[in-house]
Structure 1
Amino acid sequence: MENRRAKVRDIAAETGVSIATVSRVLNDHANVSPRTRDLVLQAVERHQRPTAPDGPPRTVYVRCPYLLTDYFGLIVSSIAETLRLHGARMVLDAGEASQGSDVLAGLPDEPGVDAAILILPPEDDERLVALSRRGFPFLVVDPRTAPPPDVPSISAAHLSGARALTSHLVRQGHRDIGVIAGPDVWLAGDARLAGHHAALAQAGVLPSPHLTRHVEPTIDDGVRAAGELLDGGGRLTALVCFNDKLAVGALQAAHARGLRVPEDLSVAGFDDIDLSRATRPALTTVRQPLQEMGRLAVTQLARVLDGHRPEALHLELSTTLVVRDSTGPAPA
């Protein structure tokens, strides 16, 4: 029984679905989509194959040209664990120093590297397309810009997540809502802003460009942008921040102005990193499936390396609204 539970956990980690979903497939329950059922059954088949090696282990180059903090660290750790389950090795290229290096052009000629996973790559579409045309298998996680049609990618459902967050505030009576967004050339930021506008439109509220700030996603930038919005002469009742670090900065700016959260001002974030649970009050936020993104990236890449074409090139994983204490009814 213990071995069966361990196998179920391994298959769940390898496929990026929950343990409950794996159990439903193994018990032949009807309420599982055909695509998910096939994915799980293929993983089960791999686990039942003889374990004798039939060649050298595959090596996957993982590029994350950023500091491996909580956000990127969760994705990279999940990729590493899932590659290990697949019997593959990982070559990690991480840290901001690698942002300026042109590594993509040389990847197909890198000895012993079979494929790559690129996390939020700073390279433009032309370089991604050039890499794809050379027949080198790779996948993009959390693309910065809209990925080219033939480049596989995995991201979160940013638009629906932001729409759910702003709808939550609208139901609380908020109409004067400031937005602290990420860089204005960021695909995720554009999608989140669209989701925010959609929720406002449903409530009959026109978005106000002067209530939006585009900044780098840091706590210091959150402090500065929130200060500008709060000191701008309007009567804001809520601030929506497009990551949790910006929201922490907004909390600091509100505290410096003697504003109580959420009695005077509601503040919300996005991502649901550990920091969101450490603030006082704890942050209302949108949970991104960061670990699931890493697991599914490896699973999709493994299918490509096994000679299968991905059923969907651009996958969006659902997000979850997490309501905590930093949001409340709009002040009268």
Structure 2
Amino acid sequence: MKIGPIHSMGVIVNYKCSAKCRHCCYSSSPGWPGDYMSVETAGRVFSWMKSRRVRSCHIGGGEPFLRPEALLSICSLAKEHGIGIEYIETNASWHILEEKTVSLLRQLLKVGVDCLLISVDPFHNEFIPYSKQKELIRLCRKEGMGTFIWPGNFGGDLELLDTSVPHPIKEFDALFGGDYQSDAARSYGLNCNGRAISLCRGAYVQKRPGDIAGENGPCTCLTSTGHCHLDLYENYIPPVCTGFTIALADVDGVLDREKYPALYAAYERGPAGLWDYAKGFGFTPSRERYVNRCDLCFDLKRFLLQNHPTADIGYPSYFSQSDYERG
């Protein structure tokens, strides 16, 4: 098992966030530790990327702007290493005073950052008023900072309610009728990981775990690199697969089967392989039905972390912060 060629990737500078959104695949929240990528770690990450001929990356979290000075240092270091920053993800919660926001945008432009991905959707809107995001977009355009609105199809809905305050998603149910939450989840195209699993359960038909295990083959996506990440703990996160981690030092070679047993089980035989592996330590499904292979796999990884932790399963907060509570 070997990770494939990487052309672009994400750098997760923190997992702590100002919001606890229903749809977050990484279960980010205020409840995570306040750790942030150090300059030393960033230097090793960017040096590794350069050695791999990775020319650009995006910066994500958590909420990267929780520590703006640290973020600026990391972006400056990327520039020194010749690594382009495609965009920085943000929920705009940090924007309070125009003067401070403009100053930060100008500093980012000086270190080579020319685009922010600004999250605009009903899940963020439960915590962050749309007016903040609109104002940040306005200031970005004024200062010459590009914006990438993600996912881009919810702004019209958010305009129908008071944009100066957050709104529980049930208010959209009342406004539009039906099950707006599930409709929004399907429209978003969520990956069924982390806290998003609870949201997906209401949006999609669920199946018995045995059927899911029998219908799905190897998880070859674990070696693909389409939307992979490196995080502040110097771990590689496979694309759209919360809960598996690979040490950066191991990414360049063939992975050690003894060090990464759960990863190999999923890679070679999919959820059935991971289930057989976990059964050896007493696993039984915690629910009668699951949405898909990723939902079942997340439950398997949660069990393994609690009962037989290995280097390929991390972190506790992925699982302890995966339940949704507003506020």
TM-score, length of structure 2 as denominator length = 0.30
Q: Indicate the structure (1 or 2) with the bigger Cα radius of gyration.
A: 1
Structure with bigger RCO (C-alpha 8 Å, 6+ apart): 2
